Structure 1
Amino acid sequence: MGKTSVLLVGFLFSFLVAMVQAGDKYKKYNDPSLPINKRIGDLMRRMSLDEKIGQMVQIDRKVATPEVMRDYKIGSILSGGGSVPHLQATPQEWLNMVNGFQNGSLSTRLGIPMIYGIDAVHGHNNVYKATIFPHNIGLGATRDPELVKRIGSATAREVRATGINYVFAPCIAVCRDPRWGRCFESYSEDPDIVKEMTEIINGLQGEIPKNSRKGVPYVGGREKVVACAKHFVGDGGTTRGINENNTVIDKHGLLSIHMPGYNAAVIKGVGTVMVSYSSWNGVKMHANHDLVTNFLKGSLRFRGFVISDWQAIDRMTYPVHANYTYSVLTSIQAGLDMIMVPYNYTEFIDTLTGLVKNKFIPMSRIDDAVRRILRVKFQLGLFENPLSDESFIDQLGHQAHRDLAREAVRKSLVLLKNGENADEPMLPLPKKSSKILVAGSHADDLGNQCGGWTINWQGGSGNNLTSGTTILKGIAEAVDPSTEIVYEENPEFDYVKSNNFSYGIVVVGEPPYAETNGDNLNLTIPLQGQYTLYNVCANIKCVVVLISGRPLVIMPHLEQVDALVAAWLPGTEGQGVADVLFGDYGFSGKLPRTWFKTAEQLPMNVGDLNYDPLYPFGYGLTTQPLNATS
């Protein structure tokens, strides 16, 4: 080779090196003008195995630091129920925390932003002073998808107030047995109602554009968040309503009862789907390749990412960790893309890395998972705006949202009994009376009326939990100023008998609970509530307002009760109950599920052959509103 040739080769080599270096500086994945698929492809080509596996990990904020996010390239953080900076943290404190973690992610080699998830299942329920809406069972009673969509929009804005961009909602389980501790998270026993209520996704994420490809996730603006349809699939049909148990049903039943909500969610562009702890005919859903990969990703053409439930990998084998490697293998092979670890992330990362390097899990499965996660992040706009701003801070607990929650409470109330006959109704109540008695454990208890998943995972009793209006306070604001209100939580029989009360309002129900802690084979009103109900209603005319996450055994008390209202778990705006009791608005809610006579009848759902309810599905008396000054 001559001198000229050597110079030419050297020049070409230097030119190619310079072009590669220049190309590396021009990162297509950071160019918002390019189609998302091109951006994903460019980023994927740059990623190492550990960077890809890091994207598949979601850890709780309790173990997260900016350094952990940087060193392990973690793809997501979550706040589990009650995992908060501190109990009364302000939106600014939340936002600063989220941005601190995000800065750790942005300091990695590729600067891939993390996504932050939280359970916002009836409003931004982990956060102090947020608006708490009625739980899903109450929203199902409204039969109002447009209302639910507005609730989704309000929730998204309150979530954005704290710098968070991803919510584990909605729960679109079809609860077929009210003994299940998550039944209040279900809109209805009827899959058609659940399907209609997926309209909340359009509120959370924004209305998907026309002509969009089916299954592609969509988030329409910085005031919106990524939603999560859960829990895939059949979690509401477990045997005897036992949480995380086995759902025994044929494929036709699974597809016709439990699947329609997912089809609707995918069509609406839902960003993520969470897999259920439960099993279908003995096969753990977290290991069900046929349903997760073949049906959800294949038949339904879902293009977002599939996420596990909390520590679900650990729960796949019993005792815990009996075969952790096998659990990781089968769940990733089943089609899970992001794993909610949430604490032992190093063990998961090491286990998954070993499975890939030893060729038990093909690289194509890892790439599929990461592409899906990146697609959601790009669609969310995280690469353009990774840090949260303060423009939504004033949205937390905004009065417009509280007004919306109050409207939802009014529309969710179901009137089950109103006097002995139509000619002598008990409701609406007169605002002007000499003296009325308000009684019961739930009349003046904000925590009780909000239920589980409020500030803490299990919720809690008391009025210091968050801010809002109790039912008693709502009553006090509704009646005429001349009306004397006497509040006795648990009045004795003789006390009620010896006082000259015009009428009584008894507010009783279940204590707060969530998930397995709420599993209940008896479904009776707690004994103290039964005593209070009897002591009042056996002596004076009374209306009973039942606060519960499901129907309860009420038949033995119906003779004493003049009027009976199912108020479900109304949330922070208890004045919505008083609005309807005193006739400013009429009753309009309809039962979203069958009200049984005895627990021995369960499970019993509309359409069953031996359907013999106390109140059938869809039942609900109506009243007309009175003049506001009456």
Structure 2
Amino acid sequence: MGLMRFMVTIVSMVPPYFLTMLALELQDLAQKIGEATALEVRASGIHYTFAPCVAVSRDPRWGRCYESYSEDTVIVRKMTSIVTGLQGQPPPKHPKGYPFVAGRKNVIACAKHFVGDGGTDGGINEGNTILSYEELERIHMAPYLDCISRGVSTIMASYSSWNGRKLHADHFLLTEVLKDKLGFKGVVISDWRGLDRLSEPRGSNYRYCISSAINAGIDMVMVPYRYKLFVEDLTSLVESGEVQMARIDDAIERILRVKFAASVFEFPFANRSLLDTVGCKLHRDLAREAVRKSLVLLKNGKDLKNPFLPLDRNAKRILVAGTHANDLGYQCGGWTADWKGSSGNIAIVIWHQSGVGGSFPQ
């Protein structure tokens, strides 16, 4: 069972979404942002981040496109440099497939969501990706090869299905391909309550959900709300032989391997020496650089001789309209100020209205 905690700091750096950064294929900048993120996360006492999302988003109707770097597999592969930023650079002789975390200034990374979540039919979230194995491997699996070569510590299974089979219960992809063929030695973690989705209604046959996922290759479960029933059912499954003890041993070995790599036992608490890095000028400048380099101006007015931007510094008034103009939650969206996004201003930040107001008094 994995312990989850969501934490919001009021001064931390907020870089652009992954989708924004594909504009200039900013792989070098992505690595730097990974390094900065790792410092701020470790300062808060957390060892683990559920990033990066290496989905190859093939349909703009998918509601989670903003989490993806690109529809182009080549670009997504380049942007896996953020794994190195988060975890550090493995030494030349580091064994392939094994997790790597350089030290107390780095965090455990998680490549997600394995595999094909960006290619579902019709762009339906948690839908069905209908592809041959060869196409799945070429388009959607390729970025995971790069993450594994960079020593990524964990990989998260997708809510979606491949040709009708739920990824959380797909032994072929999770074990035969990911663990055996690709040689991944880290942890395969479920998505949030991913096991419950293996029966309809969700969680109605919990024993089946557990056996299907664990036998398929899930090592860590996020997050069993019915933890007492989870422990009882899993224990019973092992005692009955429906889940082999060797499978449990493998999962435990993988979990401990990652924890030892990240020195979780030696340094379980916040690295207070890093507190000054949280929201520091260097990190904010880095985020600002990423924003500037990834901006896309679609249309700059009708008059080519007098473009709308940059704004006239002599202008007396600038109208900033809309309820979102001074609302951090709306401007940031999901996975920033809150899990799925929320309204309100809870952080020390310059939002649109205050930013314009700082340059134009009225």
CA distance in 1 between partners of 2:206 and 2:319 (Å) = 58
Q: What residue in structure 2 maps to residue 439 of structure 1?
A: 321
Q: What secondary structure sits across from 1:148 in the alignment?
A: helix
Structure (1/2) with the larger strand percentage:
1
CA distance in 1 between partners of 2:342 and 2:269 (Å) = 33
Q: Which runs of 5+ in 1 are unaligned?
A: 1-56, 59-76, 85-125, 486-630
Amino acid in structure 1 at the alignment position of 2:211:
L
Q: What residue in structure 2 maps to residue 220 of structure 1?
A: 102
What displacement does 1:460 show? 1.7
Q: What secondary structure sits across from 1:170 in the alignment?
A: coil
2:33 to 131, 151, 159: 151
> Is the CA contact 2:33–2:82 (under 8 Å) kept in the aligned structure 1?
yes
Q: What secondary structure sits across from 1:230 in the alignment?
A: strand
What displacement does 1:425 show? 3.3
Distance 1:253 1:422, change over 3 A: farther
CA distance in 2 between partners of 1:159 and 1:466 (Å) = 16
Percent identical residues:
52
Q: What residue in structure 2 maps to residue 264 of structure 1?
A: 146
Q: What secondary structure sits across from 1:438 in the alignment?
A: coil
- Asked if residue 472 in structure 1 is aligned to residue 353 in structure 2, the reply is yes
1:392 to 263, 266, 274: 274
Q: What is the correspondence of 1:208-607 to structure 2 with a 5 Å cutoff?
A: 208-420=90-302, 422-462=304-344, 464-478=345-359, 485=362
Amino acid in structure 1 at the alignment position of 2:270:
S
Q: What residue in structure 2 maps to residue 20 of structure 1?
A: none
Q: What residue in structure 1 maps to residue 4 of structure 2?
A: 78
CA distance in 2 between partners of 1:130 and 1:384 (Å) = 26
> Is the CA contact 2:153–2:258 (under 8 Å) kept in the aligned structure 1?
yes
Amino acid in structure 1 at the alignment position of 2:163:
N
CA distances 1:10-59 after superposition (whole Å, capped 9, x unpaired): xxxxxxxxxxxxxxxxxxxxxxxxxxxxxxxxxxxxxxxxxxxxxxx11x
CA distances 1:425-471 after superposition (whole Å, capped 9, x unpaired): 33333222243333233332222211112232221223x22221112
Q: What residue in structure 2 maps to residue 185 of structure 1?
A: 67
Amino acid in structure 2 at the alignment position of 1:252:
E
What displacement does 1:300 show? 1.1
Relative to the length of structure 1, the TM-score reads: 0.55
Q: What secondary structure sits across from 1:229 in the alignment?
A: strand
Moved over 6 A (4+): none
Distance 1:327 1:148, change over 3 A: same
CA distances 1:207-266 after superposition (whole Å, capped 9, x unpaired): 111132211110001010000001100111112222111111222221111111111100
Q: What is the correspondence of 1:193-212 to structure 2 with a 5 Å cutoff?
A: 193-212=75-94
> Is the CA contact 2:44–2:271 (under 8 Å) kept in the aligned structure 1?
no
CA distance in 2 between partners of 1:339 and 1:136 (Å) = 26
CA distances 1:479-531 after superposition (whole Å, capped 9, x unpaired): 5xxxx53xxxxxxxxxxxxxxxxxxxxxxxxxxxxxxxxxxxxxxxxxxxxxx
CA distance in 1 between partners of 2:163 and 2:304 (Å) = 48
Amino acid in structure 2 at the alignment position of 1:78:
M
Q: Report how many residues are paired.
A: 362
CA distance in 1 between partners of 2:304 and 2:92 (Å) = 49
CA distance in 2 between partners of 1:197 and 1:209 (Å) = 20
Q: Which runs of 5+ in 2 are unaligned?
A: none
Q: What secondary structure sits across from 2:299 in the alignment?
A: strand
Relative to the length of structure 2, the TM-score reads: 0.95
Q: What residue in structure 2 maps to residue 175 of structure 1?
A: 57
Q: What secondary structure sits across from 1:382 in the alignment?
A: coil
Q: Which has the higher contact order (CA 8 A, sep 6+)?
A: 2
CA distance in 2 between partners of 1:379 and 1:187 (Å) = 28
Q: What secondary structure sits across from 1:355 in the alignment?
A: helix
